Structure 1
Amino acid sequence: MLFEIPKKHESGKNFSRRCVMVKKVAVFFGGKSAEREISVLTGVLALRLIDPAKYAAVPVYVHSDGGFYTSDEAFYLETFKTHPFPLKKFRRCVFENDELLIFAPKKDRLLKREKIDVMLNCCHGGAGENGGVAALSELFSVPSASPSVAACSVCMDKEWTKLFLSAAGIPVLDYVVLTREEYVRRGALALKDVKKKGFPLIVKPASSGSSIGIAVIENEEGLKKATEEAFLYGDKILFEPYLENKTDINCAAYRRNGKICVSEPEAAFGDGVYGFKEKYMKEKPRSDSGDTADKSAARTPLDEEEIGRIKAYTSAIYRRLETLGVIRVDFLKSGENLYVGEINAVPGSLAYYLFCERLIDGRRFLSDLLEEPFSGAKRDVCIPETGVLESVATGGKRGFTGIRL
């Protein structure tokens, strides 16, 4: 049977009472994204860490074909290492209001209905992180323990992020935006404003995470090649100045009992380019000379004033996003200057490690996230009946009579 509540001997006391009280959590992960594998790691971690005494985790794997699938096998990382992917072990599922409908593989026979109490988004990149999963929650009025559609949209597009941060008075690096349409139309002329910034530069896709597609452009000769490679990952790219002797710093925030909790900042990376391989493949950073450097030696300690500024900026960003769930803010420190590089609405491993010393402490952290949508006073938004349709008929120059659209 799919998604059994843990057996009595596994979960401790008062099993029958918990069977009634347990909340069902739909954990979304995977997706049509270059970050799918990172999302699998976050999703499986969440499925295994969710407290079975309080919740029943329901995996919702978003396959590369865009479909939703579920299976008991989704709780095991080894399942996703299998090639080709064992889709026959999964069941297709769809949402209908607040229920997940699970179908048998043959003849699309309805196998099971799962009433979902809360959603948790573990999708990195693509339609999962850009607000797509959040939209499901809002459309079907299912509480979400993850950031909202608006917050995801602002965080996913790096240009929108910079506009949002600038309006909030939070420092960002100067930048130039280039779209594929403009580059195709104008060719080399489209790079004129980029060249004015000088070299070296960083180029990055505007809507790609996990540092995918990021590159350093040392001189004008490498500009065209780096630009076209960045466009492989999206239709809009950004150019920023490359900072020497900088440090990458992470800080996260979430809401617990209505209050914003901010982590201690962590110096994640030293001088060099914090690319995908450096983040996830255990490679050392690339320094200005192209050589690898000792990551720990490259870290710059933060003084109390810098720690205070980072935490204040993180709290202000979270408050202005007006959201729930956890976000991670990535800072760049260069000399005395501090900049926000980007905001992650679905950070890797949900950034539990910035709040927890031990993996097992992540269980309490996840419980905090999952309970927050149910805390505080809630009220339904008023949707008035306007009566407009009663006096409208089809026809006329505008297509309708009795109203001016």
Structure 2
Amino acid sequence: MERKTLTVGLLFGGESPEHEVSIVSAKSIARHLDRDRFQLVPIGVARNGVWAVLGDPFARLADGELPTKSDCQFLPLERGGEQFGLPDVFFNMIHGAGGEDGQIPGYLEMLKVPCTGAGRLALAAAMDKWIAKSIWESAGLPVTPYRAISEEAWNLDLRGFIGQCLELGLPLFVKPANTGSSVGIEKVKDAARLQQAINDAFRYDRRVLVERGIDAREIEVAVLGGYDPIVSAPGEVLVAGEFYDFADKYVDGKSSTQVPADLDHVTAQTIKDMTRRAFLSLDGYGLARVDFFLDRKTGDIYLNEINTIPGFTSISMFPKLLESAGLPYKEQIAMLIDLAISRHKQTAGKLAGYRSGSEWFKS
């Protein structure tokens, strides 16, 4: 029997600061998608939130920007424009707000359409550094010592919070709770700078974390699968600057990566075990890249962050780690689509609600 070609709605762009990163990842996926199995439907989300179905893959992109007014519609939400049927499955490659925080996947779940990656709750929890760390602490996993605060609490007692942060010791890293790609992160080496750094972080989110700075190696591990996922060997980011910030990742490119990382067997296996626990404790599914700090002085291992929609270019760390585990880039893409369909079938069979049999509402 001939296998049906599935339409894959490739979601990219978005309203977050990681808009351009998402476009680069999506272009790479489009080039490597198995066209014998899948028909591509590129769906760009502009910075202003407009969705555009791009008939000729990415031909309408100009200078890395998506059109801010769509002449075609994916769903009949407005009058006018050409209307498209829903794809068989969505491939979510929107980094940051909208895609990685569970908003769009949750909407697609409501429409009963499969989507790659984890469910809306897992995505939202993983995207929020404060919540993710709290869950990991509850699971007995080590995280970097930190303090966290909301903007409302900060305005009430900023001096008290600054005092708590300084107890951690300098240097400190100030992070918005809900950004990726190191957007909005600042390394603070002078106590006099801390207040302004926290104020700057509040430009990106209403909740902020302040973490103890550790002289550490930056280790990353890829996860692909469901409830018994593939966990890659650890890789290492060889940081050129003071830390692996947005410019270093996507602008200057001075840092490099090493796959696999030069680690002894016990340390590598410990990190892999912690990766699996961190992924499953958040109800992870599909894909993730889990980032660690390895203290250069003590050898202690700390969970840093989890990225549930990591960079997916052919040279990004996530696919490189899986390729080192024997899974080619093209197969990674196909496996994520298959996982999305499998999970959708599983959840679709669950009871949607309770029917009491009562007829009181008819009276």
Bin the TM-score by the shorter chain.
0.7 to 0.9
Aligned to 1:315: 276
- Tell me how far apart the structure 2 counterparts of residues 347 and 388 of structure 1 sit (CA, whole Å): 48
1:310–1:182 Cα change, 3 Å: same
> Unmatched 5+ residue regions in structure 2?
none
Determine which of 78, 81, 91 is the counterpart of 2:63. 81
- Tell me how far apart the structure 1 counterparts of residues 114 and 44 of structure 2 sit (CA, whole Å): 19
Determine which structure has the larger helix proportion and give its number.
Answer: 1
Contact 1:249 1:269 in 2 (8 A): no
Structure 2: which amino acid aligns with 1:67?
V
Q: CA deviation at 1:357?
A: 5.5
Contact 2:43 2:51 in 1 (8 A): yes
- Tell me how far apart the structure 1 counterparts of residues 290 and 280 of structure 2 sit (CA, whole Å): 13
Determine whether 1:62 maps to 2:45: yes
Contact 1:73 1:79 in 2 (8 A): no
Aligned to 2:309: 346
Structure 1: which amino acid aligns with 2:275?
T
Determine which of 78, 94, 100 is the counterpart of 1:129. 100
Structure 1: which amino acid aligns with 2:43?
V
Contact 2:23 2:64 in 1 (8 A): no
1:74–1:320 Cα change, 3 Å: same
Structure 1: which amino acid aligns with 2:63?
K
Q: CA deviation at 1:392?
A: 9.3
Q: CA deviation at 1:154?
A: 1.1
Determine whether 1:40 maps to 2:3: no
SS at match of 2:286: coil
Determine which of 114, 119, 137 is the counterpart of 1:166. 137
- Tell me how far apart the structure 2 counterparts of residues 216 and 66 of structure 1 sit (CA, whole Å): 32
Q: CA deviation at 1:284?
A: 3.8
Determine which of 202, 208, 225 is the counterpart of 1:231. 202
Contact 1:151 1:321 in 2 (8 A): yes
Q: CA deviation at 1:93?
A: 2.3
Q: Report matched runs for 1:4-403 at 5 Å.
A: 21-76=4-59, 79-81=61-63, 85-87=66-68, 91-95=71-75, 108-109=80-81, 111-244=82-215, 246-255=216-225, 259-270=228-239, 272-284=242-254, 301-335=262-296, 336-349=299-312, 351-356=318-323, 361-375=328-342, 378=346, 380-382=349-351, 383-386=353-356, 390=360
Q: C-alpha offsets along residues 79-128 of structure 1, whole Å, 9 cap, x if unaligned? A: 24167x5456x544244xxxxx598xxx614x343232111110111122
1:196–1:263 Cα change, 3 Å: same
Q: CA deviation at 1:317?
A: 2.4
- Tell me how far apart the structure 2 counterparts of residues 213 and 320 of structure 1 sit (CA, whole Å): 27
TM-score normalized by structure 2?
Answer: 0.87
- Tell me how far apart the structure 2 counterparts of residues 92 and 391 of structure 1 sit (CA, whole Å): 42
Aligned to 1:8: none
Q: CA deviation at 1:375?
A: 4.0
Contact 1:119 1:143 in 2 (8 A): yes
1:196–1:55 Cα change, 3 Å: same
Q: C-alpha offsets along residues 38-80 of structure 1, whole Å, 9 cap, x if unaligned? A: 111112222222111001111111112212111134435x824
Equivalent pairs: percent with the same residue?
26
Q: Which has the higher contact order (CA 8 A, sep 6+)?
A: 2
Q: CA deviation at 1:388?
A: 6.6
SS at match of 2:23: helix
Q: CA deviation at 1:321?
A: 3.1
Contact 2:6 2:89 in 1 (8 A): yes
Aligned length: 352
- Tell me how far apart the structure 1 counterparts of residues 67 and 125 of structure 2 sit (CA, whole Å): 35
Structure 2: which amino acid aligns with 1:130?
D
Structure 2: which amino acid aligns with 1:318?
F
TM-score normalized by structure 1?
Answer: 0.79
SS at match of 2:280: helix
Aligned Cα RMSD in Å?
2.9
- Tell me how far apart the structure 1 counterparts of residues 280 and 246 of structure 2 sit (CA, whole Å): 29
SS at match of 1:202: strand
Contact 1:263 1:311 in 2 (8 A): yes
Q: C-alpha offsets along residues 222-265 of structure 1, whole Å, 9 cap, x if unaligned? A: 11221111112111111111112x11111011117x64111121
1:80–1:181 Cα change, 3 Å: farther
Structure 2: which amino acid aligns with 1:362?
Y
Structure 2: which amino acid aligns with 1:61?
G
1:368–1:279 Cα change, 3 Å: same
Q: CA deviation at 1:170?
A: 1.3
1:261–1:387 Cα change, 3 Å: same
Q: CA deviation at 1:221?
A: 1.1
Q: CA deviation at 1:340?
A: 0.8
Q: CA deviation at 1:320?
A: 3.0
Q: CA deviation at 1:277?
A: 1.0
